[in-house]
Every structure is written in structure tokens, then in C-alpha cells.
Amino acid sequence: MSTNRRHEILRSVKFLLFSVSAGVIEMGAFSLLNEFAKWNYWACYLIALVLSVLWNFTLNRRYTFQSANNVPVAMIKVAGFYCVFTPLSTVGGNYLAGTLLWNEYLVTILNMVCNFVLEFLYDRFFVFGKTIDTNDIAKKKAENKRD
């Protein structure tokens, strides 16, 4: 297996692990709001999604994609993704949970899986595609390989 392929597999695994941690935050926040606040599905989901996105963006920019690009620009690009994903997943999730009476947790997990796959592709190829491995961590690794 080539070094580049191994590196991309490692990047995917990092994204998965950080996404799992964001998923724990999302499910925890969703559960607290759903069980104790007794709000509608969409409100619980939306707040939980925002918390997980902030967590995931911060970790993945620094450690998975090791990008030194302009943080506000990257955040705007990610916000653009969520301007599409959030309404679709919120309305769709609310329909499944509120109208079709699907289990709220099942709907949330389905949304999380869709988010994981779509966001990885979006981040990898659009948000950080041209600036992957440009931050201080990546530069130190490159220097250590040369030594």
C-alpha cells in the first residue's frame, strides 16, 4: 500500500473518531433537550447539531486535515454546507419523527450518518482540499521525515 493511500486512510479514521466524539455531543444534547425540555424534534435536533458542528470543525481542521487556511473562510464554507443540510435534515427529520411517528433517536442517528459521509467529502475536497497538511503540525511531521 502506498504511503499516500495509508495517509488518506488514517485521515478518514481520524475524521471518523472525531465525528464519533461530535456524535456523542450531539446525542447527549439531543437527549437532554428531548427528555427534559420536551421540545419539538426540530428544536432539539437543531441545537444539538450546532454544538456538534462547532466541535467537529475545530478538531478536524487542526488534526484531520491539518489545514492552515483562513479559519473564517473555512467556517463560511462549512456554514454553506449546513445552509443546505440543516433545513433538509431538520424538515425531513421532523416529518419522519412528527408525522410518520418514527423513533426520534433513529431519525437522529440516520441524520448523523448522512452528515458524516457528506461532510467528510465536502470538507476533504472543497473546504480543505487545497490546504491539506499545511499547518504547523503537518510541517513538523514533514521536517521529521526529512531528518
Residue 143 lies in a domain: no
Does residue 131 have a pLDDT over 70? yes
Q: What is the pLDDT of residue 68?
A: 87
Residue 141 lies in a domain: no
Residue 54 lies in a domain: yes
Number of structural domains the chain divides into = 1
Which three cell numbers mark 96? 419522519
Q: What is the pLDDT of residue 147?
A: 67
Does residue 1 have a pLDDT over 80? no
Q: What is the mean pLDDT of the chain?
A: 93
* Residues 19-32: tens digit of each pLDDT: 999 999 999 999 99
> How far is the C-alpha of 55 from the C-alpha of 119, rounded, in Å?
14
Tallying the residues shown for the chain, one arrives at 147
Domain that holds residue 120: 1-133
Q: Could you tell me if 115 and 85 are in contact, meaning their C-beta atoms sit under 8 angstroms apart?
A: yes
Q: What is the pLDDT of residue 31?
A: 96
Looking at this protein, which amino acid is placed at residue 3?
T
Residue 74 lies in a domain: yes
When pLDDT is averaged across residues 68-95 and rounded to a whole number, the result is 94
Q: What is the pLDDT of residue 144?
A: 87
* Cβ neighbour number for residue 118 with a 10 Å cutoff: 14
Residue 113 lies in a domain: yes
Does residue 134 have a pLDDT over 70? yes
Does residue 145 have a pLDDT over 90? no
Residue 107 lies in a domain: yes
Residue 146 lies in a domain: no
When pLDDT is averaged across residues 68-86 and rounded to a whole number, the result is 93
Residue 114 lies in a domain: yes
CA-based nearest residue to 108, from 94, 118, 123: 94
| pLDDT band per the 50, 70, 90 thresholds, residue 146 | confident
